[in-house]
Structure 1
């Protein structure tokens, strides 16, 4: 299949496929006599793996490490599990950060309802958001 067909099947742009090739995530495509790239089902399967891995939160560097293990003839499942556990820890840490941010925003919004805009002086940008004094 040509690059447009592969892009359609995988739900990506042709530019993305070229980028993955340059990055080494996809093998260089065979070329037809007219110079068009020609892809096989194995490349389509690898592209679907890349997209599914990204959907799971893995980076292209993570994906490259998985593909390198497979290319070396190793089964990458343990490595993938380690990556996914790390990603889950990152997500949980981010959720905690977001919960703190949510509480702070709620506090600022509630505090803003009690403020008198007439008391906002030129020396203070906005009295809703407190800033430390030097």
Structure 2
């Protein structure tokens, strides 16, 4: 099959396939005499694996590492478990950061009701005040 057919089956853009080939995540396809790439079932399976990993927010490096483990199927999966444990920890950190962000946004939103004019907007004032505080903290850190 050609790249357009593979892209349609996998639900991705042909550029995505080329990108994964360039990054070494998809094996390079054989080429016909006219230069067209010829993809196989293996490419479909690898592309599906990559897409699932991306849905899980795994990096390209992590995907490459997982693929290398697939090449040695008889080794223990300790390293795979450790990688996923690290990724879970990273996701939990992101969740915590997003919860903090949500609290800040909710507090900002509560600082302003709809009847105010822009000059009295609590949201804009709150953002400006926090910006000033960050500048002061950054400035005081540079003094010796």
The TM-score bracket by the shorter chain reads 0.7 to 0.9
Confirm or deny: 8 A CA contact 1:3 1:39 kept in the other structure: yes
Q: Deviations over 1:7-39 (max 9, x none)?
A: 111111111111111111111110111111001
The alignment's TM-score, normalised by the length of structure 2, stands at: 0.74
The corresponding residue for 2:9 is 9
Q: Structure 1 unaligned runs (5+)?
A: 121-125
Change beyond 3 A, Cα 1:118–1:89? closer
Change beyond 3 A, Cα 1:38–1:65? same
The corresponding residue for 2:141 is none
The corresponding residue for 2:70 is 70
The alignment's TM-score, normalised by the length of structure 1, stands at: 0.79
Change beyond 3 A, Cα 1:12–1:117? closer
Change beyond 3 A, Cα 1:58–1:87? same
Distance in 1 separating the partners of 2:118 and 2:98: 32
Aligned alpha-carbon RMSD (Å): 2.5
Distance in 2 separating the partners of 1:76 and 1:55: 25
